[in-house]
Chain A
Amino acid sequence: MDRKIFLNEKDMPKQWYNIQADLPNPLPPPLNPATGQPITPDMLAPVFPMNLIEQEVSRERWIDIPEEVLEKYLMWRPTPLYRAYSLEKYLKTPARIYFKNEGVSPPGSHKPNTAIAQAYYNKVFGIKRMATETGAGQWGSALAFACNQFGLECKVYMVRVSYNQKPYRRILMETWGAKCVPSPSPDTNAGRKFLEQNPEHPGSLGISISEAIEDAVTSKDTRYSLGSVLNHVLLHQTIIGLEIQKQLAMIGEYPDIVVGCAGGGSNFSGLSLPFVRDKIHGKKIKIVACEPSSCPTLTKGPYVYDFGDTAETTPLLPMYSLGHGFVPAPIHAGGLRYHGMAPIVSRLLTDGLIEAKAYTQLETFAAGITFARTEGFIPAPETNHAIQCVIEEAKKAKEEGKEKVILMNWSGHGIIDLAAYDAYISGKLEDYVLPDEEIKHLLKDLEKFPKPK
């Protein structure tokens, strides 16, 4: 059997799939935190163009992909589906493992599937310029590429620590004509406020988001763009799973297990939503979202500072946001919500249509190294979470003696993340419990820290 399954360009899907049409329990409308009332489309109009807001709230099952977007997709789509023969052999598993290589796009990840669509919809709405934030740089480079394709200006606020440590991402953005600035920047009120406090402020994702939104709402013909979480972003990514369904049908396969990594939920959703639809309609299929155990939004929720009892005598407990009555009633009413995760993914988890697993950074980097040394491609660090899950499932199939079909989204390559691999290979990321002496040393050093104002 072939190692790669290619789909002809003419067979590339012409529509995106909107899971909102099939959800057993519809998503509740997002609430305005200031009023507690549902957010209406016109409230979002200063931030997003109306054509994307319409997609955000659409309940139509299939949404046509515009010709102009399809043309751009053809630069790298359809992406190949690989049979991971070498990994299978290494694991001595009877499972058949397939991975969809989304790392072949110009910026090297799945992100341009929505960046191209968003740039197009902004362009036809009359927008001339887009603003966004980026942490790792994957999204910023994808939007820079997409804006360049549609002749839009692009401004990216990149968290300063990331900007300083990942010059190649910045260079990618600038090569595609975007303006990438370290955040906090002197370009916005939000940025200036933080720079006044500390000219060397290292930044945070929250600050970068504030800057990008401020830019969008205060600049002429400008809108904000987001690379994950929102419904329309997940919609655009479904081309991944729809292509896979055609590719697997070509070789008479169907997955028993579908695995994707989940940060904000876009690549996981792109892979899995078409298969969730099958599951809703009766297919027996296991769908797994994999996340870091350090910030387990799906498996546990983030740690919160909370009081262990009403007398407030237990000041700090490692408590998760889903415990201790922490989740406010209106959220319970609408189904559990996991901050930072796409509401659609949260809903699927709550409804039992998907499951979630969390992995430590050490085991995921080990999985990434195994993949690189068998299949050759170096994965993006977040992709390693899915690989670890695939390895676990393949070993389980071996123990059970079952010929399972395991499908994974290989969401991006790690060529620009080699510093992380270097840290892992050189032992700098080892899990290591500090001895008391070192804790004392650490505490002494912390005396130098400024106290919060």
Chain B
Amino acid sequence: MIKGGEFPPFYTHAMNIYCHQLGIIVEFSYCISMNEGLPCRNIIGCYKGRTDIIVILREKFTDEELRKAFSGTPKSRIERIMESLKNKE
């Protein structure tokens, strides 16, 4: 089972999930930290019904951090490409 980098594993198998982006089983510790220490923007959809994910996010992150993690239009692939090209200029 993979671990979320340096983060501790969790003790309940209820927090394992099949990640559709990666095609593997991942632990919650990955989902909540994979975005440069911030949660994956799909975390609410993935964990609703499994745990009170909103409570956990509110407890652990500031408003500003949550805004950074979840707000804004998600980038399309072509936007990601253009952004990478711009970064190379």
Contact = CB atoms under 8 A, between A and B. Distances in A.
Contact of B45 (A200, A264, A294, A438): A294
A261 to B, nearest CB: 10
A157 to B, nearest CB: 12
A58 interface: no
B78 A135 contact: no
A251 interface: no
Contact of A305 (B32, B50, B66): B66
A32 B75 CA distance: 11
Interface residues of A, number: 92
Contact size range, B: 35 or more
Contacts, number: 238
A335 B13 CA distance: 41
A442 to B, nearest CB: 6
Nearest to B33: A449
Given A340-B74, A442-B51, A449 B60 contact: yes
B22 A161 contact: yes
Interface stretch (A15-23, A95-103, A238-246, A315-323): A315-323
Interface in B26-59: 26, 28-30, 32-38, 40-46, 48-52, 54-59
Contacts of A226: 77
Contacts of A316: 54, 57-58, 63, 66, 70
Interface in A31-85: 32-34, 39, 43-44, 46-47
B81 to A, nearest CB: 6
Contacts of A382: 20, 23
Contacts of A229: 76-78
Nearest to A450: B37
Interface string A425-453: 00111111110001101110110111111
Contacts of B61: 452
Contacts of A318: 44, 48, 54
A428 B25 contact: yes
Given A229-B77, A339-B73, A420 B24 contact: yes
A337 to B, nearest CB: 7
B42 to A, nearest CB: 4
A191 to B, nearest CB: 13
Interface stretch (A121-129, A201-209, A392-400): A201-209
A230 interface: yes
A295 B25 contact: no
A164 B2 contact: yes
Given A135-B22, A431-B49, A439-B55, 10 more contacts: A165-B2, A166-B23, A302-B41, A306-B71, A316-B54, A428-B13, A433-B51, A441-B11, A445-B10, A449-B33
Interface of A: 30, 32-34, 39, 43-44, 46-47, 135-138, 159, 161-162, 164-166, 197-198, 200-206, 209-210, 213-214, 217-218, 224, 226, 229-230, 263-264, 292-296, 302-306, 315-316, 318, 321, 326-328, 331, 337, 339-340, 343, 361, 365, 381-382, 417, 419-420, 423-424, 427-434, 438-439, 441-443, 445-446, 448-453
21 contacts: A33-B83, A136-B23, A161-B2, A166-B23, A198-B5, A204-B40, A226-B77, A229-B77, A230-B78, A294-B42, A303-B43, A303-B70, A306-B71, A316-B58, A337-B76, A340-B74, A381-B18, A428-B16, A439-B56, A448-B8, A449-B33
